């Protein structure tokens, strides 16, 4: 290849790259970004669920003798890996016309049920821990409040008993004092003893009552604190996420829903969360894989040409147009080969064939002339009202191999000096 031809080929490469940037870069970038995001979603969901499968499966073997929990964990990972690719494998079997799609789907269905149960079990276990924490806080605080109330009741009863005993003892001592003073005997000293006993009984009773009332005050304060704790726990609901509380408030239409309502809302959310995550991992990869297969079918393939033949790279649409043109020319050729019933019809067919040949010869000369002036194949085909693929098919019959290579592949001009001059001008 001459220096001019090499320069022209390099120019064609740069122009083609710029034209691709203009016509196809936006679609290529958007498609690549789409696939990147889709596979990122699948990868994130798969990683999280793989961790859940291993964690939950391992817990099934904990506490069992002679069984390594890692064996259950590894099996959980195996189920997850198969659940993530069985639909892709089935699609591959169908695409390659290989038996086995139904087998993959049946086994994958069982694996999907297992991994869904793994995720449900992991979520419910975490939810159960939250529920137990919430109920335990309420039970401890309520028990503390109940104990305080019982102790206060016992102390009040003790105070009433002390007062009753004091009053009875003081009454008896006062009766004894009155009897001694009124008997006319010289024994008032004995009355003083009874008076001292009376005073001591009142003082002892007062001390017991004061101590009991102080204890009641203390317990009442603890009871109030317990009630405040119950109110705080009810208002804050620290063991539960705000989402579960909000859902329970909406469903029960209550400002302070009970723990079981919150727990059931958490169960509903866990179910939806798991089903969506499983759908992303199980169904989305197959859809993306089919999109890749479709893109591969639409992409032009490099084929090694046979000796003496030229391969034209074209898109699927251009190939369909070429196939249409081939069928059209085949019908024309078949019509030309069939003889007419009369000499007049045969003469008319010969005239049309001659006119068609003359038209195609002029068309080929026009293509060569425009190509030598520097026009591109796309510009030439556009001026003639056809696609580059159809133009290539037409000119294959009316150009020599050297002329065809010059027009459609950027080779040297078969006229020699004219081709070199054109290449140098390009």
Q: How confident is the model at residue 6 (pLDDT cuts 50, 70, 90)?
A: low
Inter-residue contact 53 to 84 (CB < 8 Å) = no
* pLDDT for the residue 240: 79
Alpha-carbon distance of 7 to 349, in angstroms, equals 47
pLDDT tens, position by position, 58-115: 888 777 777 788 888 888 899 899 999 999 899 889 888 888 889 999 998 999 999 8
φ/ψ of 143, rounded to 5, equals: -65, -40
Residue 424 pLDDT class (50, 70, 90 cuts)? very low
Q: 10 Å Cβ neighbour count for 260?
A: 12
Residues ≥6 apart with Cβ < 8 Å to 365: none
Mean pLDDT of 228-242: 57
Q: Residue 41 pLDDT > 90, yes or no?
A: yes
pLDDT reading at 417 higher than 60: no
Q: What is the mean pLDDT of the chain?
A: 76
Write the pLDDT tens digit of every residue in 344-391: 566 666 677 777 777 778 888 888 888 888 788 888 888 777 788 887
Q: What is the DSSP string of 92-149?
A: HHHHTT-S-HHHHHHHHHHHHHHHHHHHHHHHHHHHHHHHHHHHHHHHHHHHHHHHHH
Higher pLDDT, residue 9 or 298: 298
Residue 404's pLDDT is what? 82
Which of the two residues, 152 and 97, has the higher pLDDT score?
97
pLDDT(43) > 90: yes
Q: Any idea where the domains of the chain sit in the sequence?
A: 3-127+281-298, 141-241+249-256, 316-425
Compute and round to an integer the Cα radius of gyration of the chain. 50
10 Å CB burial of residue 252 (0-12, 13-18, 19+) is middle
154 vs 35, more confident: 35
* Minimum mean pLDDT range among 40-44, 54-58, 285-289: 54-58
Q: Is residue 139 over pLDDT 90?
A: no
What's the whole-number mean pLDDT along residues 241-251? 85
pLDDT of residue 38: 93
Give buried/exposed letters for 187-199 (b at 16+ CB in 10 A, else e). Answer: eeeebeebeebbe
The yes-or-no verdict on residue 284 having pLDDT over 80 is yes
Tens digits of per-residue pLDDT, 158-206? 888 888 877 887 787 777 777 766 666 656 676 677 677 778 777 877 8
Check: CB of residue 391 under 8 Å from CB of residue 314: no
Output the pLDDT for position 44: 94
DSSP letter, residue 373: T
Considering the entire predicted model, what is its pTM? 0.47
Q: Which one, of 281, 352, 284, lies nearest residue 51 by Cα?
A: 281
**What's the CA angle centered on 157, arms 154 and 159, to 5 degrees?**
110
- Taking the mean position of all CA atoms in its chain, how far away is CA 7? 51
pLDDT recorded at residue 235: 40
For residue 94, how far is the Cα from the chain centroid?
26
When pLDDT is averaged across residues 33-38 and rounded to a whole number, the result is 93
Residue 419's pLDDT band, with cuts at 50, 70 and 90, is very low
pLDDT at res. 425: 35
pLDDT value at 33 more than 80: yes
Q: Among 29-43, 229-243, 391-405, which is the least confidently predicted range?
A: 229-243
> What gap in Å lies between CA 119 and CA 127, rounded to an integer?
12
pLDDT at 348: 66
Residue 90 is classified by DSSP as H
Confidence of residue 37 (pLDDT cuts 50, 70, 90): very high
| CA 283 – CA 276 distance, rounded (Å) | 10
Burial 315-346 (b: 16+ CB within 10 A, else e): eeebeebbeebeeeeeeeeeeeeeeeeeeeee
Instruction: Tell me which of 232 and 239 has the higher pLDDT.
Output: 239
CA distance 246 to 276: 21
Predicted local distance difference test score (pLDDT) of residue 237:
45
């Amino acid at each position: 290849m001459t220096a001019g031809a090499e320069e022209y080929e390099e120019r064609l490469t740069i122009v083609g790259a710029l034209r691709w940037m203009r016509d196809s870069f936006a679609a290529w970038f958007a498609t690549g970004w789409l696939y990147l995001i889709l596979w990122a979603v699948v990868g994130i969901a798969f990683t999280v669920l793989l961790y859940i499968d291993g964690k939950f499966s391992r817990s099934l073997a904990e506490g069992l003798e002679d069984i390594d929990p890692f064996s259950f964990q590894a099996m959980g990972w195996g189920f997850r890996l198969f659940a993530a690719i069985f639909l892709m494998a089935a699609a591959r079997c169908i695409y390659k016309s290989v038996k086995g799609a139904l087998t993959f789907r049946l086994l994958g269905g069982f694996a999907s049920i297992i991994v869904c149960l793994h995720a449900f079990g992991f979520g419910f276990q975490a939810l159960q821990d939250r529920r137990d924490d919430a109920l335990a806080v309420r039970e401890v605080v309520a028990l503390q409040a109940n104990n305080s109330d019982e102790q206060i009741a016992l102390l009040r009863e003790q105070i009433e008993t002390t007062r009753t005993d004091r009053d009875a003892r003081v009454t008896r001592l006062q009766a004894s004092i009155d009897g001694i003073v009124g008997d006319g005997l010289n024994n008032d000293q004995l009355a003083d003893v009874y008076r001292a006993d009376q005073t001591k009984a009142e003082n002892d009773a007062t001390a017991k009552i004061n101590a009991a009332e102080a204890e009641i005050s203390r317990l009442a304060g603890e009871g109030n604190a317990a009630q405040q704790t119950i109110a705080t726990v009810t208002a804050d609901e620290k063991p539960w996420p705000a989402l579960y509380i909000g859902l329970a408030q909406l469903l029960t239409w209550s400002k302070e829903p009970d723990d079981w309502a919150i727990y059931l809302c958490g169960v509903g959310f866990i179910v939806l969360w798991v089903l969506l995550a499983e759908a992303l991992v199980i169904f989305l990869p197959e859809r993306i894989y089919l999109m890749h297969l479709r893109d591969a079918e639409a992409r032009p393939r490099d084929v090694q040409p046979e000796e003496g033949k030229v391969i034209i790279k074209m898109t699927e649409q251009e190939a369909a147009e070429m196939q249409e043109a081939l069928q059209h020319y085949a019908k024309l050729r078949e019509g030309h080969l069939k003889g007419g019933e009369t000499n007049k019809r045969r003469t008319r067919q010969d005239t049309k064939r001659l006119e068609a040949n003359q038209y195609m010869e002029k068309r080929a000369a026009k293509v060569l002339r425009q190509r030598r002036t520097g026009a591109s194949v796309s510009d030439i085909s556009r001026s003639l009202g056809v696609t580059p693929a159809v133009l290539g098919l037409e000119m294959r019959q009316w150009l020599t191999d050297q002329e065809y290579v010059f027009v459609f592949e950027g080779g040297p001009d078969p006229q020699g000096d004219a081709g070199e001059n054109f290449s140098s001008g390009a």
